[in-house]
Amino acid sequence: MSKQFKVYNQINGILVINKPKDWTSFDVVAKVRGKLNVKKVGHTGTLDPQATGVLVLCIGKGTKLVQELTGFDKEYISEITLGANSTTDDQEGEVTPVEGASEVPITNIENILKEFTGTFAQMPPQFSAKKIKGKRAYELARKGIKAELKAVDVTINQIELLDYKWPVLKLKISCGKGFYVRSLARDIGEKLGVGGYLTGLERTKVGHFSIENAISIEQVEEKTVLPLSVAKA
């Protein structure tokens, strides 16, 4: 009896998805792979399940561009809640209010934000995908083991205060590869002395791909796949 082999569609290109909340980046990849009946699909920068926004996917021969596109600058709209800390640096973890934390003047926040412009060393979150001796940091963290993470140089091109009403701070951030917005929330809270964690995140740009041009997972079909040439636009 001959072995049956699945026949895949030969589609090559780029998809710009608006990732919904509660989906992992891999969930999106798997769904797109099934909808288009293609073998190779890769994403160009993980978004946490609670985050929404631009997730650029490479289809077929486009997967050769994954590393290049992963290096594109990104833009985020973030919501940070001050006055408490989280074990995961976001709302998914165990949140502990900081004793004695009180409303911070907006001028203090504006001054602190200036310290995060440019290139600086950032400590990744304990619950991150960083590998420690072959294990993901989040795998160790779930077992109660604190990973020995190293600070990594990251870059914020621009940071803008969009809104502030204690304890919620809303920022627009343009940053380079490897930057963790969760870590920024944690570090801003630490510098202000009141704690802080990420409670909302939308990625609005990856390079020249923007949220305005992103499509929903439901809209995915062959004709929505962009040509590989758009990667150079």
Where exactly are the structural domains of the chain? 13-71+207-232, 74-205
The CATH classification number of 13-71+207-232 equals 3.30.2350.10
The CATH number for 74-205, chosen from 3.40.50.1220, 3.40.50.300, 3.40.50.150, 3.30.2350.10, is 3.30.2350.10
Q: What pLDDT shows up at residue 200?
A: 97
Among 172, 178, 122, 175, CA closest to 150: 122
Averaged pLDDT for residues 202-228? 96
DSSP annotation string for 158-186: EEEEEEEETTEEEEEEEE-TT--HHHHHH
CA-CA distance, 143 to 114, in Å (whole number)? 37
Q: What pLDDT shows up at residue 46?
A: 86
Q: Would you please indicate which residues are annotated as catalytic (active-site) residues?
A: 48
Longest dimension (CA), the chain: 75
Weakest mean pLDDT among 4-8, 47-51, 88-92, 186-190? 4-8
pLDDT band at 1 (very low <50, low <70, confident <90, very high): very low
Among 4, 183, 195, 209, CA closest to 89: 183
Residue 146 has pLDDT above 70, yes or no: no
| Segment 32-61, tens digit of pLDDT | 999 999 999 999 988 988 999 999 999 999
CA-CA distance, 109 to 176, in Å (whole number)? 22
| Segment 106-120, tens digit of pLDDT | 999 999 999 999 999
Tell me phi and psi for residue 83, to 5 degrees.
Answer: 95, 0
